[in-house]
Structure 1
Amino acid sequence: MPDTDVVIYHNPDCGTSRNTLALIRHAGIEPHVVPYLALPPAAALLTRLARRAGVPLRALLREKGTPYRDLGLDDPSLPDAALLAAVGHHPILLNRPLVVTPLGVRLCRPSEAVLDLLPPGPYGFFAKEDGEVVIDHAGRRVAGG
């Protein structure tokens, strides 16, 4: 497989993030892993990533298990600058895993969404941590997986 620049904003405590990282490696690519909880992306970078993903900045925020509501971020009138400042202070607000490849930027939820950002296979059998099959023994992507 040719060298492919892949970056994953990764939280090792998140199963979806772990499965996404495993799928990237399964494709023969060793990505640049950004432990975003310790090294949150700068506001300008996060803004560019959202733009490249084609989503509003708010779409990259995580509500569950974060101080999202406590910080009043559920107010739709808040400007992006306020959201960016909140992520800078509370990086757990950034949803994961965010993946960047030459083919695009995407929040990879579910984890198999990363396959759309990777060079075409064929890839061998792959199952998630919970046993859900993503790529069958014939190398085909499984619907829903």
Structure 2
Amino acid sequence: MPASPAKAAHAATIYHNSRCSTSRKTLELLREHGYQPTIVEYLKTPLARAQIAALIEAAGLSVREAVRSKEPLYQELGLADADDAALLDAMAAHPVLLNRPFVTTAQGTRLARPVEKALEIMA
């Protein structure tokens, strides 16, 4: 079923990793709901520390909730006891540590884990 003109006009941005199944499913969900999202492949074009902090804050998360603690690099860097500043520095230096996908629309920002979290900010 084609998207309604109203929904098609809505903008969205997805901070995407094409190798991540959750990120791919979220991108598909956005498109199914009539969005033509701007895709930011943050592993290829890393976000600045301030951008990461702003995304996390906009999503209403703690910095620790936004870090991929199961990523081997997390253990290698000894981040288990790191404070927010150190975690943000690590995510800026090593984008793979940023949890994904973040989605931003006019209705807000969400970490789409699970994928359905993105529905909360779709018109």
Task: Give the structure-1-normalised TM-score.
Answer: 0.76
**Between Structure 1 and Structure 2, how many residues are aligned?**
117
Distance in 1 (CA, whole Å) between partners of 2:122 and 2:69 is 28
Aligned runs of 1:20-35 on 2, under 5 Å?
20-35=26-41
Question: Are 1:117 and 2:116 counterparts?
Answer: no
Report the residue type matching 1:71 in the other structure: L
Report the residue type matching 2:116 in the other structure: E
Aligned runs of 1:49-128 on 2, under 5 Å?
49-75=55-81, 78-119=82-123
Q: Which residues of structure 2 form unaligned runs of 5+?
A: none
1:36 to partner: Cα distance: 0.7
Q: CA RMSD in A?
A: 1.2
- Identify if the C-alpha distance between structure 1 residues 42 and 111 changes in structure 2 by more than 3 Å, giving closer, same or farther: same
Misfit runs of 4+, over 6 Å: none
Distance in 2 (CA, whole Å) between partners of 1:84 and 1:28 is 33
Aligned runs of 1:36-55 on 2, under 5 Å?
36-55=42-61
Distance in 2 (CA, whole Å) between partners of 1:113 and 1:54 is 13
Name the structure with the higher helix share. 2
Percent identity over the alignment?
45
Which of 15, 19, 35 aligns to 1:9? It is 15
Give 1:138's aligned residue.
none
Q: Which residues of structure 1 form unaligned runs of 5+?
A: 120-145
* Structure of higher RCO (CA pairs closer than 8 Å, 6+ residues apart): 2
1:80 to partner: Cα distance: 2.2
The structure with the largest alpha-carbon Rg is 1
Q: Work out whether residues 66 and 92 of structure 1, in 8 Å CA contact, stay in contact via their aligned partners in 2.
A: no
Task: Give the structure-2-normalised TM-score.
Answer: 0.88
Distance in 2 (CA, whole Å) between partners of 1:43 and 1:85 is 7
Report the residue type matching 1:102 in the other structure: A
